[in-house]
A and B are shown apart, each in its own frame.
Chain A
Amino acid sequence: MAETTLAPTAGEAVATAEMPRSLRRGGRIALISGIVFLVVAISIPLFFRNFVVFQFTQMLVYAIAILGLNLLTGINGQFSLGHSAFYALGAYTAAILMDQYSVNYIWTLPAAGVVCFIAGFLFGLPALRLEGIYLALATFALAIATPQILKLSPLEHWTGGVQGIVIVKPDPPSWLPLNQDQWLYYFTLAVALILYILARNLVKSRTGRALMAIRDNPIAARSMGINLSLYKSLAFGTSALYTGIAGALGAIIVQFVAPDSFTLVLSIAFLVGLVVGGVGWLPGAIFGGAFVLFVPNIAEGVSKGLSGAVYGVILILLIYLMPTGAAGFVRAVLSRFKA
């Protein structure tokens, strides 16, 4: 799995010529690491106190958002600094549905996904005319505008204005011997796994190859009959859908949404997580999520006054040591393993 997504652009002929053995081996490694991940992930609530479980839940939420950004940036080659806006949209969708319409929290996830897909798709349409850094700037505007729009008084009836919305933490099903934090962790883990598998299948499918073809060479992709505008908008929509679901989950676990939760800093955090995890490598999202959540805490532990500087140093070191993120690191380890 790791192999195929890591080198998506490699010519198929070359790949098939030398692949069979290494592919099988790569597949086996992927399978083993997948199982190890699952075992570790499932056992986390058994060994850690609730607060740490809560942190891991947040990490998974960030990982889902980064996964969404990866579909857009890593797979389709479009930049976005505006994903905090979709995260906010998902969070507010969930919060408003739960707060005003007493919708069960589980159903807020698909609702947030649909709302964000539509929003992302629509935003993707005009954004199609923009490439690279110009698109990044357009989405940057989205991130800047969102907190202010959420504060607007005409929307205050729904959004609660600056005060935000407090939501009730959902209880686990009564037949499960879990507390709220443990239950939310498993719930988030399940959602994350489903979304990951869907993303992986999407990338492996015809659509996924079309998305990557657009990233690598738009002109060639067009001449092969790929509808560029449709696929790029779809990529934007799907990416927003993932991030929106992450936002909804984030709102549920934090029990609170407010405009100040969704600033540009969040968008940047997603981008940093994406690069740290590895652009274009889907499992990297989990490393990215871990970085986004834990590294600021580590930096603060080193020095309170200089936490920003320490964070920067850690980031620079990481990029220096692993220029292509966790993806490159894993690939290097695997290739040494094989040789």
Chain B
Amino acid sequence: MLSHKISRRGVALGIVAAGTFAASAAMAQKKYGSGATDTEIKLGNIMPYSGPASAYGIIGQVEAAYFKMINDQGGINGRKINFISYDDGYSPPKAVEQARKLVESDEVLFIFNPLGTPTNSATMKYMNAKKVPQLFVATGATKFSEDPKTNHWTMGWQPSYQTEGHIYAKYILTNHPNAKIGVLYQNDDYGKDVYKGLKDGLGDKAKTMIVADAPYEVSDPTIDSQILKLKASGVDLFMDITTPKFAAQAITKVAEIGWKPTHILNNVSASVGSVFKPAGLENGIGVLSTGYLKDPSDPKTKDDPTLKDFFAFLDKYMPDADRSNLNLAYGYGVTQTVVQVLKQCGDELTRENVMKQAANLKNFRSAVFLEGITANTTPNDYFVLEQLQMMKFTGQSWDFFGPILSSEAKS
């Protein structure tokens, strides 16, 4: 059965290869790498459709639906997108297997938006050795974008955890210059990444302003003792770097002990449904956070004229999707960005040119980005989105306020 499958695929590949050859002979000015022809661009993708992170699988579905719409409209520069998305179950060895399958067997032009920090860590070395773009990885870990020299073929997309930390520092320095900061953070790469951004952003003042910090392990049942410790240290600005379950606990506990610090919660846990509802909506009033995408379920966005296409897309191609899911906007925004890269590539669809154009985004905007946020890259700066806006929880939803904040300082 297996060999049968392979032989059939082999035949198909042969035809594609022959087609490529004929096409490139006919038109010398067009340049194609593997996975690209006159009629088709093959993109790979790896998502956790099963396993512990399967909630993110919706992103892969949005991407597939968006490419279907692109194809219905005639493709990009006349080429249809063949979007091949595999499941890795959030398992690093499986991610390696699927990445190799996409590169060596399906021979895609590049892998787009593979999701997960451990899974992308596992494939990064392989992708760079093979010189295949690992483009717009779906993780906030700073390491995927911070070193374009060593990892030329890997690029992130969303604001990195350190960028986010920087922006909180910026906000604090402007609005609470005399704050006594207490930091609660998850003791892993993500928590430390945000914390590092905060400390770097505060600069020399970090030592004096941060009066206490309290790490917790993902395996801890509660974070009550950490909260009490921070309160006892005289903290008046609570920097809450936690994942949803712990964020809900923190909001509840802070309210329960009658503590009233300025409460900044990181973007990872800014979900109304999975954090604020379980914590008690009234307990969360006044909590601050940041965002960079418009929330399609927010009544205020309903009449936003720039989102008309987005809602039309959802109505036609994803009618059953739950509109309150922020990942819809995420998938839409990241796919629009990659479409922009492919448009910029023109007829030179090689892996080199894909990276060159990805590193040459100038003030690109997707409709789902907050007004004022743009995507910018250079060959030495792989951080695609580096701007966020502060927002405040009203008891029902988030209200954005203040200017768009950006982080210029890089670590």
CA distance A254 to B118 in the complex (A): 13
B82 CB–A CB distance under 8 Å: no
Point out the residue from B89, B92, B124 that lies within 8 Å of A254, measured CB to CB.
B92
A300 CB–B CB distance under 8 Å: yes
CB distance from B51 to the nearest CB of A (A): 7
Question: Which residues in A have their C-beta under 8 angstroms from that of B187?
Answer: 153
CB pair B93 A261 closer than 8 Å: yes
CB distance from A190 to the nearest CB of B (A): 22
* 8 sample A-B contacts, Cβ–Cβ < 8 Å, listed by A number: A51-B100, A51-B103, A151-B218, A166-B124, A255-B122, A257-B92, A260-B119, A261-B91
Q: Which B1-30 residues have a C-beta within 8 angstroms of A?
A: 2, 6
CB distance from B126 to the nearest CB of A (A): 7
* Chain B: interface residue total (CB-CB under 8 A): 35
CB pair A258 B188 closer than 8 Å: no
CA distance A304 to B104 in the complex (A): 21
CB-CB nearest in chain A for B219: A148
A162-B190, A163-B189 given; 4 more Cβ-contact pairs under 8 Å: A58-B93, A152-B217, A153-B187, A296-B89
CA distance A138 to B85 in the complex (A): 38
CB pair A162 B118 closer than 8 Å: yes
Question: Which residues in B have their C-beta under 8 angstroms from that of A257?
Answer: 92
Question: Which residues in A have their C-beta under 8 angstroms from that of B50?
Answer: 307-308
Question: Which residues in B have their C-beta under 8 angstroms from that of A317?
Answer: none
CB pair A307 B92 closer than 8 Å: no
CB pair B97 A58 closer than 8 Å: yes
Question: Which residues in A have their C-beta under 8 angstroms from that of B122?
Answer: 164, 254-256, 258, 261
Question: Which residues in B have their C-beta under 8 angstroms from that of A300?
Answer: 49, 86-87
The interface of chain B, by Cβ under 8 A from chain A, is 2, 6, 49-51, 85-87, 89-93, 96-97, 100-101, 103-105, 117-119, 121-122, 124-126, 187-190, 217-219
CA distance A186 to B243 in the complex (A): 44
Question: Which residues in A have their C-beta under 8 angstroms from that of B49?
Answer: 300, 304-305, 307
**Interface SS majority for chain A:** helix
CB pair A258 B105 closer than 8 Å: no
CB distance from A126 to the nearest CB of B (A): 23
Take A254-B93, A258-B92, A261-B91 as given contacts and tell me if A304 and B121 are in contact as well, using a CB distance cutoff of 8 Å.
Answer: no
CB pair B91 A161 closer than 8 Å: no
Point out the residue from B2, B51, B121 that lies within 8 Å of A256, measured CB to CB.
B121
CB distance from A237 to the nearest CB of B (A): 25
CB-CB nearest in chain A for B13: A49
Point out the residue from A52, A161, A166 that lies within 8 Å of B189, measured CB to CB.
A161
CA distance A49 to B121 in the complex (A): 25
CB pair A162 B188 closer than 8 Å: yes
CA distance A58 to B98 in the complex (A): 13
CB pair B91 A255 closer than 8 Å: no
CB pair A164 B121 closer than 8 Å: yes
Question: Which residues in A have their C-beta under 8 angstroms from that of B85?
Answer: 304
CB-CB nearest in chain B for A163: B189
CB pair A255 B6 closer than 8 Å: no
Q: Which A291-314 residues have a C-beta within 8 angstroms of B?
A: 294, 296, 300, 304-305, 307-308
CB distance from A252 to the nearest CB of B (A): 12
**Interface SS majority for chain B:** helix
How many pairs, one residue from A and one from B, have CB atoms within 8 Å of each other in the complex?
A: 89
A68 CB–B CB distance under 8 Å: no
The interface of chain A, by Cβ under 8 A from chain B, is 48-52, 54-55, 58, 148, 151-153, 161-164, 166, 250, 254-261, 263, 265, 294, 296, 300, 304-305, 307-308
CA distance A296 to B217 in the complex (A): 32
CA distance A258 to B123 in the complex (A): 12
CB-CB nearest in chain B for A168: B125
CB distance from B219 to the nearest CB of A (A): 5
Question: Which residues in B have their C-beta under 8 angstroms from that of A250?
Answer: 93
Question: Which residues in B have their C-beta under 8 angstroms from that of A50?
Answer: 100, 104
Point out the residue from A54, A58, A161, A304 that lies within 8 Å of B188, measured CB to CB.
A161
Question: Which residues in A have their C-beta under 8 angstroms from that of B97?
Answer: 54-55, 58
CB pair B118 A260 closer than 8 Å: yes
CB distance from A36 to the nearest CB of B (A): 16
CB pair B6 A258 closer than 8 Å: no
CB distance from A107 to the nearest CB of B (A): 22
CB distance from B379 to the nearest CB of A (A): 24
Point out the residue from B92, B188, B189 that lies within 8 Å of A261, measured CB to CB.
B92
Question: Which residues in B have their C-beta under 8 angstroms from that of A265?
Answer: 51, 89, 91
CB pair A51 B101 closer than 8 Å: yes
Question: Which residues in B have their C-beta under 8 angstroms from that of A151?
Answer: 188, 217-218
CB pair B6 A48 closer than 8 Å: yes
Question: Which residues in B have their C-beta under 8 angstroms from that of A148?
Answer: 217-219
CB pair A307 B87 closer than 8 Å: yes
CB distance from B220 to the nearest CB of A (A): 11
Question: Which residues in A have their C-beta under 8 angstroms from that of B217?
Answer: 148, 151-152
CA distance A164 to B96 in the complex (A): 14
CA distance A254 to B126 in the complex (A): 10
9 A-B pairs with least C-beta separation: A51-B104, A256-B122, A260-B118, A162-B188, A261-B92, A258-B118, A51-B100, A254-B93, A162-B189
